[in-house]
C-alpha cells in the first residue's frame, strides 16, 4: 500500500512539473510548446492592469523559425484599427469601461482575429474557422476576489507556421502588445507606458525582466479617479519542443 502511494506521489509530481513548465515576467505567466501537429501558447495574469491591457490593447503572438525576433508570422487579437482614431472615438477592443467586471469585458470583445504570414493577412472568426486556429480567454474568479486569473490560450497548426516542413528546433515565440490606443483627444498613449522586455532565451526557469510598467503608484498624489494606464509588454522566449 505504501509503495503504491509513493509511486502515485512520484508520478503526480512529475506530471505537475511537466505541465507547469511556464515562465514568469512581472505579473505575467507564459509558456509555449509543440505537441503533435499543433503549437500551444498560454498567457495568464492575476493583475487587473495587465488584464485590461490584454483585453483592451490586445497583442500579437509571433513565431520565428530561426530563433530570432522577426515579426513575419503572427496571430493578432484584438485587431488594431488601420487608421488612427478620430477625436471622440473609442479604440477597437477598448469600448469597454475599465470599471466593468472582467467577465463583462470579455463578452464585449470582437469575434475576429488576424493571422499574418509574411505579406498575407487573413481575418478569421474565433470559432469555428477554416484555419484551424483556436483562440480563447478563460477567466477564473477566486472566492475572496483577490486571486482572480485571466488565461489566454492559443492553438495553431504547425502547418500554418512551417507550411514547407521547416524544422521547429529553433522556434522562438514573441508575445507583444499592440500599439497603445489613442485617447479621447486623439493622442497616442504609447510613450506614456514602458514596455516590459522578456529577459534572455531558454526553455525553462523564471524570466526576471528589468522592464517597466505595471500598476500605478497609489502612494502618489493626484486625481484619485484617474484611470490606470494600460501596461505594455514584450516577451520573447524559446518554444518548448516535445
User: Residue 23: which of 196, 212, 217 has the closest Cα?
Assistant: 196
Q: Reduce the DSSP state of residue 50 to 3 states and report it.
A: helix
Question: What are the grid coordinates assigned to 123, written together?
Answer: 481575418
For residues 110 and 41, what is the distance between their CA atoms, to the nearest angstrom? 20
Query: Residue 66 sits in which domain range?
Result: 23-241
Question: What are the grid coordinates assigned to 180, written together?
Answer: 497603445
Decide if 3 is inside a domain.
Answer: no
Of all helices (H) and strands (E), which one includes residue 104? helix 102-107
Decide if 97 is inside a domain.
Answer: yes
For residues 28 and 103, what is the distance between their CA atoms, to the nearest angstrom? 19
Please report the pLDDT score of residue 192 as a whole number. 45
Query: Is-above-0.75 flag for pTM?
Result: no
Decide if 1 is inside a domain.
Answer: no
Q: Find all residues with CB under 8 Å of 41, minimum gap 6, and list them.
A: 30, 31, 32, 61, 153, 154, 156, 173, 175
Decide if 138 is inside a domain.
Answer: yes
For residues 186 and 83, what is the distance between their CA atoms, to the nearest angstrom? 11
Give me the sheet containing 195-197, strands edge to edge: 120-125, 112-117, 73-77, 59-64, 172-177, 232-238, 195-197
Identify the residue whose cell numbers are 464585449. 108
What are the angstrom distances between the C-alpha of 225 and each of 55, 56, 132, 234?
A: 21, 19, 43, 28
- Mean pLDDT, all residues of the chain: 77
Quick one: pLDDT band at residue 60, thresholds 50, 70, 90? very high
Residue 155 has pLDDT above 80, yes or no: yes
Decide if 8 is inside a domain.
Answer: no
Decide if 16 is inside a domain.
Answer: no
Per residue in 174-191, pLDDT tens?
A: 999 998 655 555 445 444
Decide if 31 is inside a domain.
Answer: yes
Q: Find all residues with CB under 8 Å of 43, minimum gap 6, and list them.
A: 28, 29, 30, 54, 151, 152, 175
User: Structural domain tally of the chain?
Assistant: 1
Decide if 10 is inside a domain.
Answer: no
Please report the pLDDT score of residue 22 as a whole number. 86
Amino acid at each position: 500500500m505504501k509503495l503504491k502511494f509513493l509511486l502515485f506521489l512520484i508520478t503526480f509530481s512529475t506530471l505537475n512539473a511537466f505541465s507547469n513548465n511556464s515562465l514568469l515576467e512581472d505579473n505575467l505567466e507564459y509558456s509555449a510548446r509543440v505537441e503533435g501537429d499543433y503549437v500551444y501558447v498560454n498567457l495568464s495574469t492575476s493583475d487587473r492592469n495587465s488584464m485590461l491591457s490584454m483585453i483592451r490593447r490586445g497583442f500579437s503572438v509571433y513565431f520565428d523559425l530561426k530563433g530570432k525576433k522577426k515579426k513575419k508570422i503572427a496571430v493578432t487579437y484584438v485587431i488594431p484599427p488601420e487608421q488612427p482614431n478620430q477625436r471622440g472615438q473609442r479604440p477597437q477592443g477598448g469600448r469597454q469601461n475599465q470599471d466593468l467586471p472582467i467577465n463583462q469585458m470579455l463578452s464585449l470583445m470582437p469575434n475576429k482575429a488576424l493571422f499574418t504570414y509574411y505579406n498575407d493577412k487573413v481575418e478569421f472568426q474565433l470559432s469555428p474557422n477554416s484555419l484551424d486556429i483556436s483562440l480563447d480567454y478563460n477567466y477564473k474568479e477566486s472566492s475572496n476576489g483577490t486571486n482572480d486569473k485571466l488565461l489566454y490560450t492559443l492553438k495553431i497548426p504547425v502547418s500554418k507556421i512551417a507550411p514547407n516542413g521547416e524544422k521547429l528546433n529553433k522556434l522562438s515565440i514573441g508575445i507583444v502588445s499592440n500599439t497603445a490606443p489613442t485617447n479621447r483627444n486623439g493622442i497616442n498613449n504609447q510613450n506614456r507606458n514602458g514596455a516590459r522586455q522578456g529577459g534572455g532565451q531558454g526553455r525553462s526557469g523564471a524570466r526576471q525582466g528589468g522592464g517597466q510598467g505595471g500598476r500605478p503608484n497609489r502612494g502618489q498624489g493626484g486625481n484619485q479617479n484617474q484611470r490606470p494606464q494600460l501596461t505594455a509588454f514584450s516577451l520573447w522566449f524559446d518554444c518548448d519542443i516535445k
